[in-house]
Chains A and B, each alone.
Chain A
Amino acid sequence: MPTGDLYGLLGVPPSASADDIRLAYRGAARRFHPDVNSSPGATDEFKLIAEAYAVLNDPGQRSQYDASLKHKNAAPVLALRSLLSRDKVPVLNEPQVVYALVEVRPALPPAELPTPPVNLALVIDRSTSMQGERLDQVKAAVAQLIDSLRENDTLAIVTFSDKADVLVPAQRTAGDHKITAKAKASTLHASGGTEILRGLLRGMMELHQNLSPASVNHLMLLTDGQTYGDEGDCLLLAALAAVDGISISGLGLGDEWNDKFLDELTAATGGSTAFIGAPDQLTKFMQDKVRGLGAAFSERLSLRVLPDQGVRLLTAYKVAPEPGPLPVEEMPLRLGSLPKDQALSLVLKFLLPPITEGARPIARLALTGDVLSLNRRGERATEDLAVTAQANFQAAAPPPALVDALSKLSQYSLQEKAWQKAAAGDIGGATRLLSTLGTRLLSSGQADLAKMTIAEAKRLERSHVLSEDAKKRIKYGTRALMLPAPPVSGSGRLRS
């Protein structure tokens, strides 16, 4: 008998009558029938809907399923909510845009849940350029990180230049092992070029030693350089990692590393990339990351967006906890992990086809994830997005939470566009976009970032050459704006 949220699949409450269920089934089946909906995953959804209906349409099976829901271990654990920029749209004979702010939260009270073990591989760039202060900071940060690991966590350290070595093979970080690992990490020395693929491969092999669906499997990549010619293979490896339930995070040191590549690599696994502007920030970044890994409520979250016929998902952007673009060419979207105390949120942009009067669904969101502390895997939550098209449409102000997210996203997009223009040789266009962004940042109270952006606009205008350092600072700076402001001590966060 199928399990999971069968009512959610049909889009009805558990109190629905048999007639409601029949109607809902017809509606849902019509939306995802392979003849109608060609979006990837629609056929699978159609099958799931049919299976759910087979159970819920049979009084005997339905009461058996209802009884199983009452069991403690069947209550939903992941809550999925959404907010549209407009739930009423104008009747229009041309395409129009609708945004959705999607939020994932634990569906359970934040009880004292046991934390799952972390299976971690550190993959450290030791190319010549790491020599000196950078490598010293890396050693210091690694030593602190080893101290912060718990007894049932496992750690491997791989170093790479144009070849990769296992410095510390995968092992539990109990007692003496910590001391040995720290001693080995202190012997790190720099030489050679940067070939990320080699490091990644060895790191993955080490992770596989203790790979378990019951632990958080994570690879942390530290690099200060570009990798040459193996980007494609690295991305392929990242896709495999995602399937194996391994997430990858990237820490870029200095200004030489390839931010676009590292973003793509990590996003493919639900991980994220951070820019380490000064070596002394490294320790804090690594500590926060590892703490986050151990304290997650849910792991390996992925969201399948199933647009209705004619609707297109144009872009997806994760806003919190780790902001970054999500590639929409690949389904499902890899969302990484959900912290216990913070919602995971993302913004989806849909393009609707010309639309006639009446209610119509635009997409179904199907979320799946593992809640390791409860030993629940493959948990699912479903949310349907729908709008009503009106001939006498009156524009209303979009919800403040969405405006807030989009205004920050718009700042991030402006700088992305500026770099694209600069790369294409349109220096005038890039300069103009950066100055515009500067004023926008100033108006939203981001004085430091604004100054840096305006200075870079002026510099670019003069020299016609981009500063890689300023580019990364502005890129990861505008990205970080999306994070909610830290709460005032002793009070809850005030957000609508």
Chain B
Amino acid sequence: MITCLACRNQEYEGELFCSNCGARLWGAPGETLPTITFDTSRLREMTRPVAATTAPIKLDLKPGQISISISGTGQSLMLEGKPEYVIGREGQENEMPEVNLGPHGAREKGVSRRHATLRVDRRQLLLTDLGSSNGTWLNGAQLSPHEPIRLESGDEIRLGRLTIKVHFNL
């Protein structure tokens, strides 16, 4: 039997979610334990979608650097030095997001002008969909608008139909 760390309920070995409190019962040792306290940021943390396991890409990033690679093009952008970056494409009146995906087919692929933000919060990187028309996906799961979610280096983000990968060293 295994014990749910959130509510001490006993479950069979191999069970994935606690039948008593819904907490996740699997994961690497040392990971944040599920909790049933009402704390939105932590709750989001628990349901963070997991990146598909691919070979980790070795990028030589200096501390503070964020690299965005545009899937299928081999191109990438390097970000550094700001607390927040808007991802989108250039608008009509010289509105220019920090991460301009316009040159990478953003318009055709349904990326909004102000699609999402990346925010550096201490050593974390948070992704927030800004209510974009075609949505933002993290590792295949759609995000609710305006709800920040923590990223991990190597995560795959889909903006409308444009896919990017984010690596960082924070």
Question: Which residues does A use to contact B, with CB under 8 Å?
Answer: 85-86, 89-90, 92, 94-99, 351-352, 395, 397-398, 400, 402-404, 406-407, 409-411, 413-414, 417, 433, 436-437, 439-440, 442-445, 447, 485, 488-491, 494-496
Contact = CB atoms under 8 A, between A and B. Distances in A.
A407 B50 contact: no
A395 B26 contact: yes
B76 interface: no
B13 A94 contact: yes
Interface stretch (B59-67, B117-125, B137-145): B137-145
A496 B24 CA distance: 20
Given A398-B26, A439-B36, A89 B14 contact: yes
A495 B142 CA distance: 10
Contacts of A442: 40, 43
Categorize the interface residue count of chain B: 35 or more
Interface of B is mostly: loop
Contacts of B141: 404
Contacts of B50: 397, 400, 403
A89 to B, nearest CB: 7
Nearest to A488: B134
A96 B14 contact: yes
A491 B161 contact: yes
Nearest to B163: A494
Nearest to A444: B47
B91 interface: no
B133 to A, nearest CB: 9
Interface in B79-105: none
A495 B47 CA distance: 16
A403 B16 contact: yes
A433 B9 CA distance: 13
B8 interface: no
Contacts of B161: 488, 490-491
A98 B15 CA distance: 7
Contacts of B144: 445, 447
B30 interface: no
B26 A436 contact: no
Contacts of A352: 14
Contact of B13 (A97, A403, A413, A433): A97
Given A395-B26, A445-B143, A97 B47 contact: no
B36 A488 contact: no
12 contacts: A85-B14, A86-B14, A95-B12, A97-B12, A351-B12, A352-B14, A397-B50, A400-B52, A404-B141, A414-B21, A445-B142, A488-B160
A439 B1 CA distance: 26
Given A96-B12, A443-B47, A488-B161, A400 B110 contact: no
Given A439-B38, A439-B43, 17 more contacts: A90-B13, A96-B12, A395-B26, A398-B16, A403-B16, A406-B16, A406-B17, A407-B24, A414-B22, A440-B22, A442-B43, A443-B44, A443-B46, A445-B144, A445-B147, A489-B110, A495-B140
B154 interface: no
B44 A400 contact: no
B27 interface: yes
Interface string B54-75: 0000000000000000000000
A391 to B, nearest CB: 14
Contacts of A406: 16-17
A90 B137 CA distance: 34
A404 B13 CA distance: 19
Contacts of B140: 400, 494-496
B40 A443 contact: yes
A439 B41 CA distance: 11
Nearest to B45: A443
